[in-house]
Structures are given as structure tokens and as C-alpha cells.
């Protein structure tokens, strides 16, 4: 009989379609069924903490560190990375297109008081955005900075609607790009790095976890087969994720 | 006042069953009529049709003068029908009596006086502020009569108005009807009993076998206890 | 972080009694939008319900069934449809209504409408036919007779309105979609709860839910004391 | 990809007529869960509503007001509360109910209950007192008299049940929270719509909404033809 | 059969107002009583209290033999009260008559025969499958009587049963009551009219000023048209 593995992951990861591609392969070779619960980063970690899932895969290094340090998760493994980009209206009122330095770009947005749509939901993306604002001198204290508290896709749509700038992960951007009028303006800064980790829920805290399955799944993700499949995943002929199991991704 | 009602070729059917078919029926001002007939012959149905509350399957009812207002209310404002078991609106006894008056845009003081005299007539003063729903059967009947009376109808249909009334109440209804008829109004009363009220009626109609016939009281059809 | 239910409840209560400005903002948006929406929706919906209960036309039952089915449409679908209408590229884009409170009101009116129609239809159905006849024969034209019948059915209608209000004050899909959950402007209690929940801040979510429950209780207690402590007649 | 409303509608219809296995899966979960939930909730809720309408006890109006207020609690809050109860680390964790269909059923029962109580209370309130007295004097004990009154109020009760069903078949917050939106297992139409919407696949979202609407229409047409095409009596 | 009802010190108040206060009232098997009194004195209320449908503010009502079943139904299965304006259940005329029989667990065939004879008695055969709601006032009254009759009550309270009935119906109700009384049942009838039915009554009670007095017919209180 096939065993059930419960994986909590972020909506953006799930929505990219990566798991739909990878998991059937894993299920076939391991005689297991992976139930994916796609929620926000905070909620995913919260579910791991409560022992309601066997394994989590998220992209919020600080929260993940707290999660592991708190003893809720064990054996964190870097799986892959992609990057964040800053997108905005074609008119580009802050003139940031092609900027190599994110801090400067954000500063220009604040200085011109352009519309900026922020996730505002404490997600990995939101936390990253806040840490980037912290590097600017003026910060995010301008009138057209809007916190909307929604998922990435919805925020892109709102930015499109309101002709504003926003920061997004590349995966969601590629998935949405074709139906938005927004343009990709800033990419490539090292600080826009977006690492994903897979972490097993600490089996000592809860009874009844599928410990073995969780281990198998996280091992499979970092196996050469898993890494290969991640690297081969394409949307519109563009790669979304890059395997990072070897070499290990260093947390900042 | 002086209303005149003419009904011609009225037919009412329920499904297959033809209830009645009446060639001609006239009610003139100052007339009082007693409509009798066995249970289920269609007295209630006929009176509702004449009052405009129900539609006949065929035929025409004409009330002259036609007093239709600007807002086509479709019902004649001077024609009132009283249910066999009256419906009282939620609210107090007073509210019920004032219902029709308020719709006429009469001044508050005038309404108050009229309601007061109606309460006296119906001997419901002590219940003026009680919920109308809690009245007894006969009291509701009296309330409904008072509620119609204050509107000074020109043509009044009373469906078994005295069935649940005590002797004194029957007498006051009789008195009321007599006064209204003297004032030029027309009243049609259905009843299974003979009592002072039915005895003041000038005309007597019998509904039987789907036809209305004008007749002397067929006493054997009624109680003469 | 808190893990167990007791701690969460405690935290909820704490949060509840330290009502801050931001929270009042959110509460304000919630009630302003939903009360406006219910005020707009009620009368037309009741009239439609009345019409469906009293006037026997061909296909009436189909209209009733349609309204019943519309109750089963998820709020987010209503939100999506309105979104496509109000979006910049949509037919009503020029009104610039998207992500504003008026848009939320429109959405909630649309959500309350079918429920109000169905419930008031059922309220009017159980009113005695004689009530209508009595009103009409005592000189009420159709308009006044309708108000009389509405008065007779007022408890059932009030229950309908409360159910409708409950539906819209608690719904999140449509408000999120066309309101946008913008802080201090279109963030209401349900969208705030959704946000807290997605962050994993369950206690905050429940606390906001309790705030809504308490305010709804206050509202209902007020109404109940007006209508005479739940008694009929 | 499509931008405007017309194209989206077209795509919705396309999707609708190419019903694939996955879609049927989702539809199956939706209706299995919601129908079970409404079947479980209806009778107890109606009995509570009856009790509240007929038995005059101290504090009755407060209970009624409470149920009215409970209608205003967002579904996600009910979901959160149940989550904390059913979670492994919660008091009922040992039942291993989280992220299962039974958990979704429990949640939907909780959601339907207050609405059913309020609507059936209002249905019973408008029943003539003589109906109860007649049943009792003709030899019905309390139990049979209740069923008689339920029969007298059946149209209003049916409307209540349909409103309750509409609430739970379309709700997303609670199902998402304690169902987990797991493909082929706890994904129902509303959570699928939420997923599509979050992906920006509005057409798919609306198409799923249309599927639900059409199925609800079918259900209602069936019921309407049973109850005699919307006519009273 | 043989039921005996004893009511002692029954008091009923509505708010401040004391409706009546009755020291002693006995009804024995084979008795028929006519309860009269003006509108609103409390006839309906008294009969409902005696039948167990309403609670007195003070006092006790005792019916012997007490036939309470295992399911404490609290109402005596052999005591039936008929409303002044009867309530008919939704459903057909037949369903209404069968209502009480079905509750007794009688065989289907037996029910069918009993319903048939009740329909004949009430002259409602042609309406057997009609909706009971569409009956006329008098027909509903007859339906309610038939619905009670099939249950062979030991103690029957009829609240103005003949108010809306035609002569023939009154006669058949009279016949029915006579037979029931001969069979050992007791019947109490309230009525404002004197008619064949009230005349068969052996005892005559007058409710006035909150007291019940046993009397010869105070004919002047009633119509003797
Ligand atoms: N809506 C209806 N559908 C079918 N039949 C009806 C309807 N309304 C009335 N009837 C039938 O029409 C007949 C006449 O009813 P109506 O109430 O007019 O009688 P009535 O002469 O007033 O009798 P009563 O003296 O008992 O009051 C009755 O047999 C009744 O069953
Ligand atoms: N629930 C109630 N609350 C207040 N007063 C009530 C209530 N029920 C009845 N009454 C009052 O009690 C009185 C007696 O009512 P009841 O119906 O017993 O009279 P009745 O003798 O049957 O009169 P009728 O001959 O008119 O049928 C009435 O005046 C009525 O207003
Ligand atoms: Mg009649
Ligand atoms: Mg009475």
C-alpha cells in the first residue's frame, strides 16, 4: 500500500507547476502519494510546527532558520533557487530600467513617489522586499507605497491595474508575464537571490508523522535525478529554477 | 353617495367544476340583501368577486359611479368586503381600526375621534391598545366591522358577520346596517341563521345549483329555533 | 509562538481588549461597506421576493430556482466577474472603481441579493392571503398593500436581512478580489483575517473573528430589544 | 491569453464542455462533502429552531441573537478554530482528521448550523398556533406534532436548507483551512477556484463557478419540480 | 368508555385582567353541555384549558381514567377540542381526516374504510382529494368535525361548531352528538345560537362575570328567531 507524505509549500512554488512535473516521478519510484498543501510561507511553517505535515518546502531563510533553531524542523536541505525581479509599467516613471543596483532603483521609486505595490503579508517575498527597503536611505515612507496583503499573482495583477512597480519572484513573473502590461525592469543583483529549502518536521515532537517518507522525499529532491528535473523545468522555454543541492546554498 | 352595482353573466369555475353562472345581478343604493345558500354553494366566492377581490372566469362587474383614483387601484374605494373569518393585522386594536383612515390622508385628530367612536360602538374600548391577535372570535368580528364602518362604505359585503356574535352585538350590527342603508349605502349579508340582522334585509337572494334566485325567505332552509 | 488552543484564545482576548487605531480602521471599513450594501440591496430584493410570491406568471418556478442556485455561487466568482467588468481593460474600466470601497459595495449587493430574494419569497409565501385582500379592500392601493404585507412578515424579513448581512460581512472572496485588501482603505475584517491566516498568525485571525462576532452580537442584541425580545406578535 | 470579458466567458464555456476526469473529481468532492454536511446539520438545526420558536424560556432572545450573530463569523475563522482543535498538537489531534473529507464535513456542518437555526426559527414563527394545538389534540405526542409542524412549514424549511446548502457548497475559507485543498482528495470547487484565481487563471475560475451554478440549477430544478413548480399549497 | 372530568379552582388571568375563576366544574360520561356567554367572557379559553391545550394560572383539571401512554403525551388521548375556526393541515381532505388515525397505528385498510364513512357523513366525498385549504368555511367546519369523530373521543369540546353550518349540516352534527352521548361520551358545546344542536344538550352552563353558573336556558341571552 502506498504511503502518504504531506508536503506544505508556498503557493508560488505550487502555482509554477514544478511539483506537478516532479512529484509523479517520485511517487512512481517510491510507491508513495504526496499530498501537497499550498499555503503562504508563514502558514506552511506553522503547519509544520503543529505537526500537521511531514515536510515543508519554503523560501524564507530567516523564518526557516527560526523554524530549525526552534527545534521544529530537522535536516534542512537547499533544493534550488531562483531570483527576484522588479517589474513596473512600461512608462517607467522612476527611470529604473536596467539598473544593476536594487537599492538605487528603490530609492528612485520612492523619490518620484511612484506607485509601489507590496505583498504586505509577511511572506518570504515580502520579507525580502522589506530588507531591501532597509538598505535605502529614505525607506518606504512615501504616499504611493501600498501594502495589499495578497498573494504574488494578485499583487502583480494589482500592480498592472494601478500601473505600479512591484517586486516578484521570477517564477510567478514568467507565469503571468504574458497577460500583463508590466515590464521586467531590474534583475541580476546578487541580493535578489531566492533560495528554497526543504525541511523535515521534527519527528520527536509529534507522533504519527511519516518520517521515512519525509526523508525519502527530501533526499529525492537533492538527488541528481531530482536536481536534473528541476533544472529541466521550463515555462515558455525559460528556466524557472536552478538546482542548488551541490554546492550547498549558504544562508545569509 | 349612491353606488350601483351590476354584474352580468358571471361564471366561476374551479378546474372542471362550475360553481355558479349568474346572468344578471343588480344592487342599488339603499338596498340590503340577504344571501343564503348551503355550505359550499359559493356565497363567499360570489361576494369576493362582486367586491373585486376575486376574478370571475367570465362576465363583467360594473360599479357606477366609477371612482378610480389617479393611481389605478383597480378596486373601488367605496366597496368593502368583510371576510367570513376576519384577518386582523398585527398591531393594536386601535391600529387596525385606523388602518383604512390613515390611507385616506385624514388629519390625526380626526382619525383619533373616529377611532374612538368606532371603539365605543364595537365595545372594544378596554382593548384599544391590546394586540388585535389576542381578541376572541366575536371580538375580532366586531373589530373587522368597526374597521370597515369608519370608512363609510357605499357598498358593503358582510360574509356571515354574526356567526360568532352574541345577542347584543347582533343587535348593534343590525342597527348599524339599518343606519347605513338609510344613508344610501347598499349592504349584502350572507348568513345561515335568521336573526334580527337578516330580518331587516329587504331583498333575499338564494344561491343554489349555481344560480341566484330572488325569493321570499325559504324558511325551511334556515333555522327557526 | 503559541501552539495550543488555550494560549491562542488568550492571545485573541488580549488583542481584543487592546483595540488599536488600525483595528478600528478595519472594523470601520467592514461595517461601512456591508451596512451600505445591505441597505441598498434590501428593498429591491424584498420587492422581487414579494413579486415572486404573489404573482403567478409562467416560468415563475424557474426564476425562483435560479435565485436559489445563485446562492451557491462562490463569492470569489462574483468577485472575478466584477473584476473583469471593472478592470482597466474591461467594459467599465473607465469608471476607475476597481480596488475602491464602492466596488466592494457593488460586490456585496450582488452577493446579498439572491439570498434576500429567496428568504423574502419564503417569508411572503407564509403570509395569509386574507392579509392582502383585507388591505386592498380597506382602500390600500398595491403599493400600500405591499408595505402592509411587509409589516405582517417583518420578523421573517428581519431574519432574511440578518442572514444577508451575515453573508456579506463575513465574505472574503469578493472583497479581496475587487477591494484588493489595501490597508486603511479596502481592508475589512474578513480580508484582514485571511491575511493574518496566510501569515500563520492564527491567533490574530481568530481574534479578529471574535471582534466581528462581538460586534454582530451587539447589533443583534440591539435589534432583538427593538423587536421585543424575540417574541412573536 | 485573454484579457477581456467576452473571451474569458468563451473560454469558460469551452472548459465547461470538455469536462475531464480531474474536474469530475473536484465536483465529486464538493457535492459529496456538502450534501453529507447538510444532511447531518438539517434535522438538529430545525429542532433547535423549533424549540426557539415554540418554547418561551428566559434568555430565549439572547440565544436567537447569538445564532444570528454566528452567521456573521467568517468561514475561515470557523476553519481556524477547527484547525486548532484537529491539529496534531491540538486536543483532538489523535483523531487524525485534519486534511480529510470528514474534517471538511465537520466544518461545513458548523457553518450551516446557525443559518439553518435562524431560518427555521423564522419559518416556525409564522406557523399558526392552531396547527400545533390541532395536532396535539388529535393525539399527536410532541414528537409527531413537531413533524406535523415541519410539514406545514416545509416550503420555508426547504428555502432554509437551500440557503444553508448554498452557503457551504460555495464557501472556501473553512474547506481550505481544514481540507488543505489536496488534489483528488480534499479539493472542491471553491478551493479549486481559489487556486486558479491565485494563479491568475480567471477564465478557469469562472468556468468552475459556472459548473457549480449549473449543477446547483439542476438540483434546484429537480427540487422545484418535486415541490410542485413553486406553487403554494 | 366513561371519562369523568373534574376541574377545581381554575383561574385564568391575562396580565392584570382576571378572565374567570371557577370553583368546581364536573363533566360526567354521557353528558352533553351547552356553554353560553357573551363575546370575550372566556368560553374558548375555558374549553382549551379543560382540554389541556392551555394552562390555567391556578387550579387543577383531572380526567379519570387517566390514560397517559408510555410516551408522556401530557394530553389525554380521548379528549379532543375543536377550534372555533378550525385549522386544516395542508394536504388533501382525506389526509386531514386520516391524521389522527395514522398516529394510532391502525391498519391501512381500516383507516381507508373509516375515512370513507367520515367523508360520507361530512358530505365531502367529492372533495376527498382536494386541497383542504380550498374548502369553504362550512366545509372546513364539517371536515374538522369528521376529523375528530373518527377518533371516537370520550370527551369532546366543540367551540361554536355550527356557526358557519347550513341547516342540513347542523342536523347531522346534532345526530352525531346524540349518538356519541348515547355511547357514553361527553360533549361540551359553546354557541351563541339556539338550534337543534343546543337543544339536545342536557345541561346548560352560563359563563358570565368570570363565573360559571348552571342554569335553565336564559333564553333572552340567545336568539330565538
Ligand atoms: N381555490 C379553490 N380551489 C378549488 N375549489 C375552491 C377554491 N375556493 C373555493 N373552492 C370551492 O368552491 C366552493 C364554494 O366555496 P365558498 O367558500 O364560496 O362557499 P360558501 O358558499 O361561502 O360556503 P360556506 O357557507 O361554507 O361559507 C367550495 O366547495 C370550495 O371547496
Ligand atoms: N393571549 C391573550 N392575551 C391577552 N388577552 C387574551 C389572550 N387570549 C384571549 N384574551 C382575551 O380573553 C378574553 C376571552 O377570550 P375567549 O376567546 O376565551 O372569549 P370567548 O368567550 O370564546 O369569546 P367569543 O364568543 O367571542 O369566541 C378576550 O377578551 C380576549 O381578548
Ligand atoms: Mg362562505
Ligand atoms: Mg370563542
Tell me the residues of chain D between 181 and 200 that have a Cβ less than 8 Å away from chain A.
181-183, 185, 195, 197-200
Q: d(Cα A54, Cα A19) in Å, to the nearest integer? A: 16
Looking at the predicted structure, is the pLDDT value of residue C202 above 70? yes
- Any chain D CB within 8 A of the CB of E90? yes
Is residue E53 in contact with ligand 2, taking CB distance under 6 Å? Answer: no
Pairing of strands A3-10, A73-88: unpaired
Which residues on D lie below 8 Å from E85 (Cβ)? 130
- Output the CA B86–ligand 4 centroid distance in Å: 14
Coil vs helix vs strand at B12: strand
Work out the percent of chain D whose per-residue pLDDT is above 70. 94
Residue C40, C-beta contacts closer than 8 angstroms, at least 6 positions apart: C105, C109
Q: How confident is the model at residue B73 (pLDDT cuts 50, 70, 90)?
A: low
* Average pLDDT of the residues in D103-120: 97
Question: How much is the pLDDT for D168?
Answer: 96
Q: d(Cα C218, Cα C209) in Å, to the nearest integer? A: 14
Question: In chain E, which residues touch B (CB < 8 A)?
Answer: 14, 37-40, 42-44, 84-85, 134-139, 141-142, 160, 163-170, 192-196, 199, 220-225
Q: Which residue has the cell 531562483?
A: A82
* Average pLDDT of the residues in A201-212: 90
CA angle (E14, E18, E20) in 5-degree steps: 115
Question: How much is the pLDDT for E1?
Answer: 54
Q: d(Cα D53, Cα C198) in Å, to the nearest integer? A: 40
Residue A204, C-beta contacts closer than 8 angstroms, at least 6 positions apart: none
Question: Which residues, in sequence order, are bridge partners of residue E158?
Answer: E82, E189
Q: Closest Cα partner for A194 from A249, A120, A119, A117?
A: A249
Where is average pLDDT lowest: A92-101, A152-161, C97-106, C141-150? Answer: A152-161
Question: How much is the pLDDT for B74?
Answer: 64
Is residue E48 in contact with ligand 2, taking CB distance under 6 Å? Answer: no
Question: How much is the pLDDT for E225?
Answer: 38
Question: What is the third-level CATH fold of C20-232?
Answer: MetI-like fold (1.10.3720)
Question: How much is the pLDDT for C230?
Answer: 42
Residues near ligand 3 ion, CB 5 Å cutoff: B 43-44, 84; E 136-137
Q: d(Cα C58, Cα C46) in Å, to the nearest integer? A: 20
* Average pLDDT of the residues in C26-34: 94
Coil vs helix vs strand at A4: strand
Q: Closest Cα partner for D153 from C134, E89, C138, B187?
A: E89
Contact status, residue C134 vs residue B83, Cβ threshold 8 Å: yes
Question: Which residues, in sequence order, are bridge partners of residue E212?
Answer: E207
Contact status, residue B21 vs residue B10, Cβ threshold 8 Å: yes
Here the cell at position A92 is: 517607467
Question: How much is the pLDDT for C1?
Answer: 37
Contact status, residue B86 vs residue B192, Cβ threshold 8 Å: no
Rg over CA atoms, chain B: 17
Q: Closest Cα partner for B153 from B127, B122, B177, B132?
A: B177
Burial class (CB in 10 A: 0-12, 13-18, 19+), C201: buried
Contact status, residue E191 vs residue E40, Cβ threshold 8 Å: no
DSSP classification of residue A233:
-
pLDDT digit string, tens, across residues B1-32:
578 999 999 999 998 899 999 999 999 989 99
Question: What ipTM did this prediction achieve?
Answer: 0.88
Q: d(Cα E134, Cα B17) in Å, to the nearest integer? A: 13
**Can you give the residue ranges of every domain in chain B?**
4-87+135-221
Protein residue with its CA nearest to atom 13 in ligand 2: E40
Looking at the predicted structure, is the pLDDT value of residue C185 above 80? yes
Contact status, residue B207 vs residue B49, Cβ threshold 8 Å: no
Q: d(Cα E86, Cα E170) in Å, to the nearest integer? A: 16
Here the cell at position C169 is: 460581512
What E9-14 contacts at long range (C-beta under 8 Å, 24+ apart), as own/partner pairs, is: E9/E58, E9/E59, E9/E60, E10/E46, E10/E49, E10/E56, E10/E58, E10/E59, E10/E60, E10/E61, E11/E56, E11/E57, E11/E58, E11/E59, E12/E42, E12/E45, E12/E46, E12/E49, E12/E54, E12/E56, E12/E57, E13/E57, E14/B134
Question: What is the third-level CATH fold of E4-87+135-221?
Answer: Rossmann fold (3.40.50)
Question: How much is the pLDDT for C195?
Answer: 86
The CA-atom distances, in angstroms, between A223 and each of A26, A197, A245 are 11, 14, 8
Looking at the predicted structure, is the pLDDT value of residue E107 above 80? yes
Number of helical (H) and strand (E) elements in chain C, helices listed first: 11, 0
Q: Tell me which residue in A15, A36, A208 faces D199 most closely, judged by beta carbons.
A: A15
DSSP classification of residue E216:
S
Ligand showing the shortest atom-to-Cα distance for residue E46:
2
CA angle (E123, E127, E131) in 5-degree steps: 135
For the four alpha carbons of C88, C91, C96 and C98, in that order, the dihedral sign comes to negative
In D28-87, where do the E strands start and end?
Answer: none
Contact status, residue E23 vs residue E29, Cβ threshold 8 Å: no
* Average pLDDT of the residues in D81-97: 87
Q: d(Cα D144, Cα E69) in Å, to the nearest integer? A: 14
Number of helical (H) and strand (E) elements in chain B, helices listed first: 6, 9
Looking at the predicted structure, is the pLDDT value of residue D90 above 90? no
- Any chain C CB within 8 A of the CB of A164? no
Question: How much is the pLDDT for E108?
Answer: 93
* Average pLDDT of the residues in C87-102: 86
Rg over CA atoms, chain E: 17
Question: How much is the pLDDT for B140?
Answer: 95
Pocket residue to mutate for ligand 1, from B40, B51, B157, most atoms within 8 A of Cβ: B40
Is residue B86 in contact with ligand 2, taking CB distance under 6 Å? Answer: no
* Average pLDDT of the residues in E51-78: 80
Helix (H), strand (E) at residue B208: strand B203-208
Looking at the predicted structure, is the pLDDT value of residue B217 above 70? no
Question: How much is the pLDDT for D228?
Answer: 60
Work out the percent of chain A whose per-residue pLDDT is above 90. 52
* Average pLDDT of the residues in C149-178: 93
Question: How much is the pLDDT for C183?
Answer: 81
pLDDT digit string, tens, across residues D14-46:
777 776 788 888 999 999 999 999 999 999 999
Looking at the predicted structure, is the pLDDT value of residue C2 above 50? no
Is residue B164 in contact with ligand 2, taking CB distance under 6 Å? Answer: yes
Looking at the predicted structure, is the pLDDT value of residue C227 above 90? no
Q: d(Cα C131, Cα C137) in Å, to the nearest integer? A: 10
Q: Which residue has the cell 353528558?
A: E31
- Output the CA E137–ligand 3 centroid distance in Å: 5
Q: Closest Cα partner for A249 from A65, A97, A98, A34?
A: A65
Ligand showing the shortest atom-to-Cα distance for residue B42:
1
* Average pLDDT of the residues in D130-152: 93
pLDDT digit string, tens, across residues D195-223:
888 877 788 888 889 889 989 999 988 88
Cis geometry, peptide bond prior to residue E65 (ω within 30 degrees of 0): yes
* Average pLDDT of the residues in B40-54: 94
* Average pLDDT of the residues in E195-215: 90
Residue C193, C-beta contacts closer than 8 angstroms, at least 6 positions apart: C172, C205, C208, C209, D74, D76, D77
Helix (H), strand (E) at residue D82: helix D75-86
Looking at the predicted structure, is the pLDDT value of residue D233 above 80? no
Is residue E16 in contact with ligand 2, taking CB distance under 6 Å? Answer: no
Rg over CA atoms, chain C: 20
Here the cell at position D101 is: 473529507
Here the cell at position E78 is: 380521548
pLDDT digit string, tens, across residues A1-32:
678 899 999 888 888 889 999 999 999 999 99
Coil vs helix vs strand at A7: strand
Q: Which residue has the cell 460586490?
A: C107
Q: Which residue has the cell 469536462?
A: D19
pLDDT digit string, tens, across residues B133-189:
999 999 999 999 999 999 999 999 999 999 999 999 999 999 989 998 999 999 999
Q: Which residue of C has its CA nearest to B148?
A: C138
Contact at CB, B53 and C136, closer than 8 angstroms: yes
Q: Closest Cα partner for E129 from E97, E103, E104?
A: E97
Question: How much is the pLDDT for C159?
Answer: 93
Which residues on C lie below 8 Å from D192 (Cβ)? none
pLDDT digit string, tens, across residues C64-73:
999 999 999 9
Q: How confident is the model at residue A215 (pLDDT cuts 50, 70, 90)?
A: very high
Average pLDDT for chain C: 88
Contact at CB, B39 and E170, closer than 8 angstroms: no
pLDDT digit string, tens, across residues B114-127:
999 999 999 999 99
Contact at CB, D183 and A50, closer than 8 angstroms: no
Looking at the predicted structure, is the pLDDT value of residue E220 above 70? no
Amino acid at each position: 500500500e502506498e504511503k502518504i507524505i504531506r508536503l506544505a509549500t508556498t503557493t508560488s512554488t505550487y502555482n509554477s507547476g514544478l511539483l506537478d512535473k516532479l512529484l509523479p516521478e517520485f511517487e512512481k519510484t517510491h510507491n508513495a502519494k504526496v499530498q501537497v498543501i499550498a499555503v503562504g510561507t508563514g502558514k506552511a511553517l506553522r503547519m509544520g510546527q503543529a505537526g500537521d505535515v511531514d515536510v515543508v518546502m519554503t523560501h524564507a531563510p530567516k523564518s526557516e532558520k527560526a523554524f530549525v533553531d526552534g527545534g521544529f524542523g530537522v535536516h534542512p536541505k537547499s533544493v534550488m533557487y531562483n531570483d527576484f525581479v522588479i517589474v513596473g509599467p512600461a512608462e517607467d516613471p522612476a527611470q529604473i530600467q536596467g539598473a544593476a543596483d536594487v537599492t538605487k532603483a528603490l530609492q528612485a521609486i520612492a523619490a518620484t513617489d511612484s506607485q509601489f505595490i507590496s505583498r504586505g503579508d509577511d511572506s518570504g517575498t515580502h520579507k525580502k522586499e522589506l530588507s531591501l527597503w532597509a538598505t535605502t536611505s529614505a525607506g518606504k515612507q512615501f504616499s504611493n507605497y501600498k501594502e495589499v496583503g495578497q498573494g504574488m499573482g494578485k499583487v502583480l495583477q494589482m500592480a498592472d491595474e494601478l500601473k505600479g512597480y512591484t517586486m516578484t519572484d521570477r517564477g510567478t513573473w514568467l507565469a503571468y508575464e504574458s497577460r500583463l502590461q508590466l515590464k521586467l525592469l531590474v534583475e541580476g543583483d546578487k541580493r535578489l537571490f531566492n533560495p528554497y529549502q526543504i525541511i523535515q518536521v521534527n519527528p520527536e515532537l509529534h507522533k504519527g508523522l511519516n518520517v521515512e517518507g519525509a526523508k525519502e522525499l527530501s533526499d529525492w529532491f537533492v538527488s541528481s535525478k531530482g536536481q536534473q528535473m528541476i533544472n529541466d523545468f521550463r515555462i515558455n522555454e525559460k528556466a524557472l529554477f536552478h538546482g542548488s543541492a551541490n554546492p550547498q546554498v549558504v544562508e545569509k | 353617495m349612491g353606488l350601483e352595482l351590476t354584474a352580468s353573466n358571471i361564471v366561476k369555475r374551479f378546474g372542471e367544476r362550475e360553481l355558479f353562472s349568474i346572468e344578471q345581478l343588480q344592487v342599488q343604493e339603499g338596498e340590503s340583501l340577504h344571501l343564503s345558500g348551503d355550505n359550499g354553494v359559493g356565497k363567499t366566492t360570489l361576494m369576493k368577486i362582486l367586491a373585486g377581490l376575486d376574478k370571475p372566469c367570465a362576465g363583467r362587474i360594473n360599479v357606477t359611479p366609477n371612482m378610480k383614483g389617479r393611481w389605478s387601484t383597480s378596486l373601488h374605494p367605496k366597496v368593502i368586503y368583510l371576510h367570513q373569518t376576519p384577518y386582523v393585522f398585527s398591531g393594536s386594536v386601535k391600529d387596525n381600526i385606523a388602518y383604512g383612515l390613515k390611507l385616506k390622508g385624514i388629519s390625526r385628530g380626526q382619525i383619533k375621534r373616529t377611532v374612538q367612536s368606532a371603539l365605543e360602538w364595537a365595545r372594544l374600548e378596554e382593548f384599544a391598545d391590546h394586540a388585535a391577535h389576542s381578541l376572541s372570535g366575536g371580538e375580532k368580528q366586531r373589530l373587522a366591522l368597526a374597521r370597515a364602518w369608519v370608512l363609510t362604505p357605499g357598498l358593503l359585503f358582510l360574509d356571515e358577520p354574526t356567526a360568532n356574535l352574541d345577542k347584543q352585538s347582533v343587535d348593534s350590527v343590525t342597527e348599524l346596517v339599518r343606519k347605513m342603508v338609510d344613508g344610501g349605502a347598499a349592504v349584502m349579508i350572507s348568513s345561515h341563521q335568521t336573526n334580527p340582522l337578516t330580518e331587516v334585509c329587504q331583498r333575499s337572494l338564494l344561491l343554489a345549483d349555481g344560480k341566484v334566485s330572488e325569493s321570499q325567505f325559504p324558511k325551511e332552509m334556515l333555522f327557526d329555533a | 509562538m503559541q501552539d495550543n488552543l488555550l494560549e491562542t484564545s488568550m492571545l485573541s482576548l488580549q488583542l481584543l481588549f487592546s483595540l488599536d487605531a488600525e483595528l478600528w480602521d478595519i472594523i470601520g471599513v467592514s461595517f461601512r461597506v456591508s451596512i451600505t450594501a445591505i441597505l441598498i440591496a434590501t428593498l429591491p430584493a424584498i420587492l422581487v421576493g414579494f413579486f415572486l410570491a404573489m404573482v403567478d406568471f409562467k416560468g415563475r418556478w424557474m426564476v425562483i430556482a435560479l435565485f436559489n442556485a445563485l446562492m451557491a455561487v462562490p463569492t470569489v466568482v462574483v468577485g472575478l466577474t466584477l473584476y473583469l467588468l471593472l478592470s482597466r481593460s474591461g467594459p467599465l474600466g473607465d469608471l476607475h472603481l476597481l480596488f475602491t470601497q464602492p466596488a466592494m459595495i457593488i460586490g456585496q449587493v450582488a452577493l446579498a441579493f439572491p439570498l434576500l430574494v429567496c428568504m423574502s419569497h419564503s417569508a411572503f409565501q407564509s403570509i395569509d392571503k386574507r392579509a392582502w385582500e383585507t388591505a386592498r379592500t380597506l382602500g390600500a392601493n398595491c403599493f400600500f398593500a405591499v408595505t402592509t404585507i411587509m409589516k405582517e412578515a417583518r420578523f421573517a424579513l428581519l431574519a432574511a436581512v440578518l442572514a444577508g448581512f451575515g453573508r456579506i460581512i463575513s465574505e472574503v472572496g469578493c472583497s479581496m478580489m475587487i477591494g484588493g485588501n489595501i490597508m486603511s482603505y479596502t481592508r475589512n475584517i474578513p480580508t484582514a483575517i485571511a491575511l493574518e491566516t496566510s501569515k500563520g498568525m492564527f491567533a490574530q485571525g481568530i481574534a479578529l473573528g471574535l471582534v466581528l462576532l462581538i460586534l454582530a452580537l451587539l447589533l443583534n442584541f440591539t435589534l432583538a430589544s427593538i423587536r421585543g425580545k424575540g417574541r412573536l406578535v
